[in-house]
A = this chain, B = another copy of it.
Amino acid sequence: MKLAIAGKGGVGKTTLAGLLARSYAESGNRVLAIDADPDANLASSIGISPQQAASILPISKMKELAKERTGASEGYGSLFILNPKVDDLPERFFVNHKGVSLLVMGTVDQGGSGCVCPEHTLVRTLMKHLLLDRDDVLILDMEAGIEHLGRATAESVDALIVVVEAGQRSLQTAAQIEKLAADIGIRNVVYVASKMQSESDLEFVKKALPTKKFMGKISMSESIREADRLGVSAYDIGGEILAEIDVIKKNLEGFLREQGSVTQEAQHV
């Protein structure tokens, strides 16, 4: 199953990505998490220390690998077509923590050096060709906003999870995301409410979204604030969010089964 997580800046995309990654790993799934935000912080949300995170070679450095394996004239596409399994990729591109393997896209190393389009192209190609086993879960944490949909980075996901909070702006972004996702052929767009502080927050969000696509909520708890202060994973602090994540996983599974996407996924094996 390939999932991407998108939404307005600061709604809690990375927190959700980290929680889902850790929770699927805990359930015995093999989890591959990809941080596709140049302002990367998925590592800390998974519980990976800054030192460990710094040791990961970003996907943007796979150029040499492509040359090595496919010949200098071939592009990344050939690399992943020839080497479509996660196990084909060298270990220096990963850090594994509690069953979650993290890859990072790469960032802006120098001011004025240009945009991160080449990095996005690489992630898109990797996503497209990567073959997963039935119980594997790939989680792609996108950058804030909508530009990644212009770049179609997540075009081959089974579901795009849009995170929203109780405000007009995140709902406007969500509507824009759903429209742009349809343009690039993403059929399954679903929603998770985040930073919920009260029942009225939840009502506000639910009223704005189709019930069928609503997968659940993450409450704004002191454990999430604490995790960000300390730079650790909210999963390790625990509390009610662990049960909330279970609900989201269950609803997502049900939704995708209904859409026939899980069956489709099984055919990849």
Contact = CB atoms under 8 A, between A and B. Distances in A.
Contact of A167 (B37, B145, B183, B229): B229
A108 B144 contact: no
A150 B108 contact: yes
A168 B231 contact: yes
A180 B112 CA distance: 8
A172 interface: yes
Count of this chain's copies in the oligomeric assembly? 2
Given A39-B145, A145-B37, A145-B38, A111 B181 contact: yes
Contacts of A37: 145
A269 to B, nearest CB: 29
Interface in A112-137: 112-117, 120
A88 interface: no
A225 B38 CA distance: 28
Interface in A182-201: 182-184
A113 to B, nearest CB: 5
Contacts of A115: 115, 117, 120, 147, 150-151
25 contacts: A9-B9, A9-B10, A9-B11, A38-B150, A39-B147, A39-B176, A41-B173, A108-B149, A111-B149, A111-B152, A111-B182, A112-B150, A114-B150, A115-B117, A115-B120, A116-B150, A143-B144, A143-B145, A143-B147, A166-B229, A167-B228, A168-B228, A168-B230, A169-B228, A169-B231
Nearest to A179: B111
Interface string A162-176: 000011110011001
Contacts of A143: 144-145, 147
Interface string A136-161: 00000001111101111001000000
Given A38-B145, A147-B147, 16 more contacts: A9-B11, A10-B10, A10-B144, A39-B173, A44-B169, A108-B146, A110-B150, A111-B180, A114-B150, A116-B147, A143-B147, A166-B228, A167-B225, A168-B231, A169-B228, A169-B231
A8 B12 CA distance: 12
Nearest to A184: B111
Contact of A11 (B10, B111, B145, B231): B10
Contacts of A166: 225, 228-229
